[in-house]
Amino acid sequence: MSCLAKPSAGEYFCLGEKVSRWSEKFLTRFRQKHIGMVFQHFHLISGLSAYLNIASPLIPQAYRRREIDQAVRLVADQVQISHRLDFKVDTLSGGELQRVALARALVHQPTLLFADEPTAHLDSEMSAHILALFDELKAQGKTIVVTTHDPQVENHAQVDRRLLMKDGQIQDALPA
């Protein structure tokens, strides 16, 4: 779904684009522009600050420093991590790492967000805050795909569709 792997058969359309036959170069550009990803294990760059980790998706693109700074600070405020931007990620708590990863996924304002356990390291108050942020993104027309074991996320009022995966197979949709 996130255009990281090509299908073994058939065609795949993402955001209305037939991406199944695209080269890796085009897929990379497509992901950079349209897709944000929050990984369960964060995949942050050790030794760099939270600021630079959040900015990393923008650096290869043609953004000016001022634009990068504004984008990083805006998204850091949204996930309430601004106070830790100058700290190396190696010194941050699990919840802070989670928020840096969320900010990195959102900094380029993607149309489609994939979030693997986005609240796993957050307390219930911060989880509620992140779910409210997801509600705002949804209201802006963004699509958010979440995998979770968190009942607070599963039962969130704004969830449009729930799927159950059992033994590696997607089961029927559950009532939303």
Can you list the domains of the chain with their CATH numbers? 29-149 (3.40.50.300)
According to the model, what pLDDT value does residue 140 have?
A: 96
* Long-range Cβ pairs for the range 83-86 (8 Å, 24+): 84/50, 85/49, 85/50, 85/51, 85/54, 86/49, 86/50, 86/51
- Tally the C-alpha atoms within 13 A of residue 108's C-alpha that lie toward its C-beta: 26
Residue 165, beta-bridge partner list: 170
Q: What is the pLDDT of residues 118-173, one digit of tens each?
A: 999 999 999 999 999 999 999 999 999 998 888 888 888 778 887 888 888 887 66
How many other C-beta atoms are found inside a 10 Å radius of the C-beta of residue 39? 15
Cβ(107)–Cβ(32) under 8 Å? Answer: no
pLDDT in tens, 44-81: 999 999 999 999 999 988 899 999 999 999 999 999 99
Band (27; pLDDT cuts 50, 70, 90): confident
pTM of the model: 0.89
Amino acid 57: pLDDT: 95
More confident residue, 108 or 17: 108
Number of H helices, E strands in the chain: 6, 7
- Summarize the confidence of residues 92-120 as an average pLDDT: 96
Return the higher-pLDDT residue of 16 and 79. Answer: 79
Tokens of 13: 């359309």
Q: What are phi and psi of 62, to 5 degrees?
A: -90, 50
